[in-house]
Amino acid sequence: MGAFRAVVIDKNESGQTVELRDFDEADLMDGDVTVRVSHSTLNYKDGLALTGKAPVVRRFPMIPGVDLVGTVEASSNPEFKPGDAVVLNGWGLGETHLGAYAEKVRVKGDWLIPLPTGLSAEQAMAIGTAGYTAMLALMALERHGLRPDRGPAVVTGAAGGVGSVAVALLAKAGWHVIASTGRPEEADYLKGLGAAEIIERSELNGPVRPLAKERWAAGIDSVGSTTLANVLSMTRYHGAIAACGLAGGMDLPSTVAPFILRGVSLLGIDSVMAPKPLRLEAWNRLARELDLGKLAAMTSTIPLDQVQEAGRKIVEGRIRGRVVVEIG
């Protein structure tokens, strides 16, 4: 046993504190696999945890970070042995279980999957929960029977993490992608990822009509609230929207009109507790189908000591694409 470096969130009478400090391995939580972490990433949920803007953290002290890739150091789980490269997304990591912004974690082996063939550690965390969620959303649309010949697909929050990967995945699959963003200066970036059209966020955050002009057959929404309500009102007959985020709020000021008059479906996407077979399918498809050149174009890298500032930026909407956090 020994000490390692970790970002630790704690709480006192004055509020939440965040610091990079030594953490004792003896204080790690129960689990049958110990992993030496090499990389993590930055998601909107991580930003909420680091800033305290929402009650993401459920126990203190907490090490944040919901994603990791690393190498197994010790294991009593028959699926994994020392030296195995593994990936973990979700399962309460960084919320109820000590998370990934640390040089070591101890977790349940059932939460881990092997690092997919064809992806480096850095590429896996450039994808992270954001990209994995985008793939789950695409898979849900496909299971619903939607294909590119049905019409365009809209992506909200398109310059963010989920949005960037969603644009690239949909474009690779042959969709005409309409990217919605509040940052018009990112138009060239989004077109480089495969967006065919760029629309201003203002087109989707105004007053919600029960039904508006039909514009798209499918969509991936990471914003929620008024944006999602407007997207639903503009969805074509028997179309579907995959909802996976709440950057704009948890409310949904919609009506039943899109559902009962156009047969629109709202598909909920949960990445945290998704069963292992679904995780494996999503990650293996990402390794095969995501353009790694486009992934590199949307990715930046920071060291662990810059993650707190990056967390503030992502909550303020000032992060483009994906951020890899170097841990080891």
For residues 245 and 322, membership in a common domain is answered with no
Confidence grade of residue 2 (pLDDT, cut at 50, 70, 90): confident
Name the pairing type of β-strands 197-200 and 177-181.
parallel
Q: Which pLDDT tens digit goes with each residue over 132-170? A: 999 999 999 999 999 999 999 999 999 999 999 999 999
Distances (CA, A) of 137 to 64, 146, 223, 242: 25, 12, 14, 6
Q: Is residue 258 part of a domain?
A: yes
Q: Which pLDDT tens digit goes with each residue over 268-278? A: 999 999 999 99
For residues 12 and 88, membership in a common domain is answered with yes
For residues 218 and 310, membership in a common domain is answered with no
CATH number (domain holding residue 309): 3.90.180.10
Rounded Cα distance, 49 and 56, in Å: 5
Question: Helix 276-289 to helix 121-143 angle, to the nearest 10 degrees?
Answer: 110
Amino acid at 236: R
Q: Give the domain extent around 76.
A: 3-115+298-326
The dihedral over CA atoms of 188, 191, 193, 198, expressed in degrees to the nearest 10, equals 110
Report how many domains make up the chain: 2
For residues 19 and 148, membership in a common domain is answered with no
For residues 58 and 163, membership in a common domain is answered with no
Q: Is residue 29 part of a domain?
A: yes
Give the pLDDT of residue 14: 86
Rounded Cα distance, 250 and 232, in Å: 15
Residues 114-118: contacts with CB under 8 Å, at least 24 apart: 114/84, 114/85, 114/86, 114/87, 115/69, 115/85, 115/86, 115/87, 116/87, 116/283, 116/284, 116/286, 116/287, 117/287, 118/287, 118/288
For residues 102 and 135, membership in a common domain is answered with no
Give the pLDDT of residue 216: 98
Range 69-75 average pLDDT: 98
Range 282-301 average pLDDT: 97
For residues 98 and 141, membership in a common domain is answered with no
1 pLDDT higher than 70: no
- With H, G, I as helix, E, B as strand and everything else as coil, classify residue 275: coil
Q: Is residue 293 part of a domain?
A: no
Q: Which pLDDT tens digit goes with each residue over 222-252? A: 999 999 999 999 999 999 999 999 999 999 9
Residue 154, strand partner residues: 178, 219
Q: Is residue 90 part of a domain?
A: yes
Percentage of the chain with pLDDT > 70? 100
CATH number (domain holding residue 263): 3.40.50.720
Q: Which pLDDT tens digit goes with each residue over 81-130? A: 999 999 999 999 999 999 999 999 999 999 999 999 999 999 999 999 99
For residues 139 and 257, membership in a common domain is answered with yes
Q: Is residue 241 part of a domain?
A: yes
Give the pLDDT of residue 173: 97
Confidence grade of residue 13 (pLDDT, cut at 50, 70, 90): confident
For residues 60 and 151, membership in a common domain is answered with no
For residues 195 and 317, membership in a common domain is answered with no
Count the helix, strand and coil residues of the chain and give each as a percent rounded to the nearest 5: 35, 30, 35
Neighbours of 85 (CB within 10 A): 17
Neighbours of 266 (CB within 10 A): 17
The runs of H, that is alpha helices, within 144-185 are: 161-172
Position of tokens 């969805």? 235
Q: Is residue 242 part of a domain?
A: yes
38 pLDDT higher than 80: yes
For residues 263 and 133, membership in a common domain is answered with yes
Contact criterion met (CB below 8 Å) for 257 and 75: no
33 pLDDT higher than 90: yes
For residues 151 and 111, membership in a common domain is answered with no
Range 217-225 average pLDDT: 98
Q: Is residue 179 part of a domain?
A: yes
Q: Is residue 156 part of a domain?
A: yes
Distances (CA, A) of 268 to 68, 214, 263: 24, 21, 16
Residue 86, strand partner residues: 70, 114
